[in-house]
């Protein structure tokens, strides 16, 4: 039996779930092929699903088409969902003498190799989630003077320069919502705008944030609404960058 597995299926009581045996995904795939159904993980990769009983291929095709149309109108909500899922995949840099698994994250940025990215990939994680959620953003919008969006400062430059985005200082009356981007000061390297994440949930005195590079790993973390929060960035739904 496996204590940990990347499987996103929430039905852990199923005998074919990878946590209940040592055969990986094979039993689940074999069962679904026999029934003519699509495994849960494929559905979850498209969009959040609840209360579904028909997992047939035809229903999955309909689900994909409907999710695509809905995603354009709810891109920010989709970003929160994607960020929450991706943060819990345990992406990591070079930790405990292991090889990193952030190829897909830093791969968006040509020349941003692991030697530079290790312990410095929080902004690249945010960009990775934005693209996966359906936002159309170049790696370096023209508003970014300092660097591409693998750097936290670039996100601030872009948000301030592109008037379609909302840039709200933490000292304002702005109320963060799921799918907003949050910039931090003095969290990782005792420096202004040194960290960034995606808001998953807003609470009275804190926020739940999906982040890359929390001590060189991804995860969800609850952060107090204190002086470490520099600002929030909000992208409108269906935002597409036009230079």
| CA dist., res. 135 & res. 201, Å (int) | 20
Mean pLDDT computed over 112-131? 96
CA atoms 84, 40, 104, 242: torsion sign: negative
Whether the predicted pLDDT of 5 surpasses 80: no
**Domain spans, the chain:** 18-73, 75-234
Mean pLDDT computed over 124-135? 95
* C-alpha torsion angle, residues 57, 58, 60, 63 (rounded to 10): 180
* Secondary structure of residue 41 in the 3-state scheme: helix
| pLDDT attached to residue 8 | 77
**Segment holding 230, helix H or strand E:** strand 229-234
| pLDDT attached to residue 150 | 97
| pLDDT attached to residue 6 | 67
Q: How far is CA 204 from CA 65, 70, 90, 120, 175, in A?
A: 37, 29, 28, 30, 10
Whether the predicted pLDDT of 13 surpasses 90: no
| pLDDT attached to residue 140 | 97
**Architecture of the CATH domain 75-234:** Alpha-Beta Complex (3.90)
| CA dist., res. 82 & res. 127, Å (int) | 12
| CA dist., res. 121 & res. 84, Å (int) | 17
Whether the predicted pLDDT of 127 surpasses 50: yes
Q: How far is CA 20 from CA 14, 43, 45, in A?
A: 8, 21, 22
pLDDT in tens, 184-242: 999 888 889 899 999 999 999 999 999 999 999 999 999 999 999 999 999 999 899 98
pLDDT in tens, 162-188: 999 999 999 889 999 999 999 999 988
* C-alpha torsion angle, residues 196, 224, 220, 128 (rounded to 10): -20
* Secondary structure of residue 108 in the 3-state scheme: coil
Length of the chain: 243
The end-to-end CA distance of the chain, in Å, is 52
Percent of the chain with pLDDT over 90: 63
| pLDDT attached to residue 1 | 46
| pLDDT attached to residue 87 | 96
Pairing of strands 166-169, 181-184: unpaired
| pLDDT attached to residue 73 | 62
Q: Are 52 and 183 in contact (CB under 8 A)?
A: no
Q: Are 100 and 118 in contact (CB under 8 A)?
A: yes
pLDDT in tens, 43-102: 777 766 655 678 888 888 888 777 655 555 689 999 999 999 999 999 999 998 889 999
CA atoms 175, 176, 181, 185: torsion sign: positive
| CA dist., res. 183 & res. 193, Å (int) | 6
Q: Are 133 and 79 in contact (CB under 8 A)?
A: yes
Q: Are 147 and 190 in contact (CB under 8 A)?
A: no
| CA dist., res. 33 & res. 39, Å (int) | 9
Six-digit token string for 62: 């309909």
């Amino acid at each position: 039996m496996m204590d940990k597995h990347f499987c996103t299926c929430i039905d852990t009581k199923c005998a074919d779930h990878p946590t209940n045996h040592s055969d990986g995904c094979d039993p689940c795939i074999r069962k679904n092929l026999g029934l003519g159904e699509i495994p849960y993980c494929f559905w979850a990769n498209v969009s959040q699903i609840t209360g579904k009983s028909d997992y047939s291929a035809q229903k999955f095709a309909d689900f994909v088409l409907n999710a695509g149309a809905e995603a354009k109108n709810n891109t920010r909500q989709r970003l929160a969902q994607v960020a929450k899922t991706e943060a819990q995949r345990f992406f990591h840099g070079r930790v405990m003498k292991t090889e990193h698994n952030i190829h897909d994250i830093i791969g968006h940025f040509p020349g941003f190799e692991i030697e530079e990215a290790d312990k410095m990939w929080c902004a690249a994680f945010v960009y990775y989630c934005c693209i996966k959620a359906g936002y159309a953003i170049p790696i370096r919008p023209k508003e970014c003077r300092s660097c591409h969006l693998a750097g936290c400062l670039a996100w601030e430059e872009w948000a301030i320069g592109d008037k379609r985005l909302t840039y709200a200082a933490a000292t304002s009356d702005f109320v963060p919502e799921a799918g907003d981007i949050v910039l931090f000061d003095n969290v990782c390297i005792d420096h202004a705008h040194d960290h960034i994440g995606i808001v998953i949930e807003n609470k009275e005195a804190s926020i739940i944030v999906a982040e890359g590079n929390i001590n060189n790993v991804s995860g969800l973390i609850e952060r107090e609404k204190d002086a470490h929060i520099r600002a929030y960035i909000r992208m409108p739904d269906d935002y597409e960058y036009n230079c």
